[in-house]
Each structure stands twice: as structure tokens, then as C-alpha cells.
Amino acid sequence: MFDRFIIHDKGFRNFYEKGKPMGFRINARINYYRGIPLSMVDDVQVTVDGEKFTTDDMTFIINGIRYSFSEMNEISNINWFFGDDMTIEIHKEGGLRPGKKTVEMCLTPRNSYFGKFPAYAKRIMTFA
């Protein structure tokens, strides 16, 4: 139902450490209208121009706080609400080069009613 909205076009850019690009950021939105605790994010996969990234390559930022995927799986008292952005930093030495990118995301939350309910979206985005 809300699958097409999981990739947010705002904030798609490289991030830097000590002046060097260490990867890129992309913003995601949850596909479930009630939101979920962070511990109920079952999986996130991102593909950019055919290059696949898994949760091992990612750091998740919500409300200004950074979490690894394993840390997020232990947090049941912080919610990711519908309409709120979660910034995902994807570690890729050198970051991405400018230009049009095909971005795919598979976001798999779970809840007690439906179990896992994956959402898939694909967008062409301009990386500047």
C-alpha cells in the first residue's frame, strides 16, 4: 500500500570523514501506517545501479541517534513512526559519483498481526 514511499528523495548524498567520502546516505520511510519499534525492522536491502548493500554495510540514524542493525534489533522503546525519515548511511569507500542512479530498496518490518511484510520500491534518483 505505501511501498512506493519507502525511498525518500531528500538527503541522497555522500557522507564524509576527515574530508574523504566514506559512503552515502539515503532516507527511508516505514510502510506501515502505525509505525513500529526499531526492534521490529527485520531487514533492509538497498541496491544502487546493481550494487547490493546489506545491513552489514549500514548505520541507521533516527532522532539524531546512530545505531547498527544489531543494536536496533535490541531497541523496543523507540519507535519509527509513519512519515518520519530514517537516515541510512551506507558504507562504501569513495561514496557515489554524481549522476542518475537506479535505487532499489526492500524494507521488511514485522508486527504481531501480520508477521513480516516486505515493501519494495525502485526509483531513478539524481545524485549530485
CATH classification of the domain holding 55: 2.60.40
Confidence of residue 1 (pLDDT cuts 50, 70, 90): low
pLDDT digits (tens, 9 = 90+) for 92-113: 999 999 999 999 999 999 887 7
pLDDT value, residue 49: 97
The number of folded domains in the chain is: 1
Across 63-90, average pLDDT: 95
Residue 106 domain boundaries: 3-127
Mean pLDDT of 31-60: 94
Look-up of cell digits 562504501: 92
Q: What is the pLDDT of residue 10?
A: 87
Tens-place pLDDT, residues 2-12: 677 899 888 89
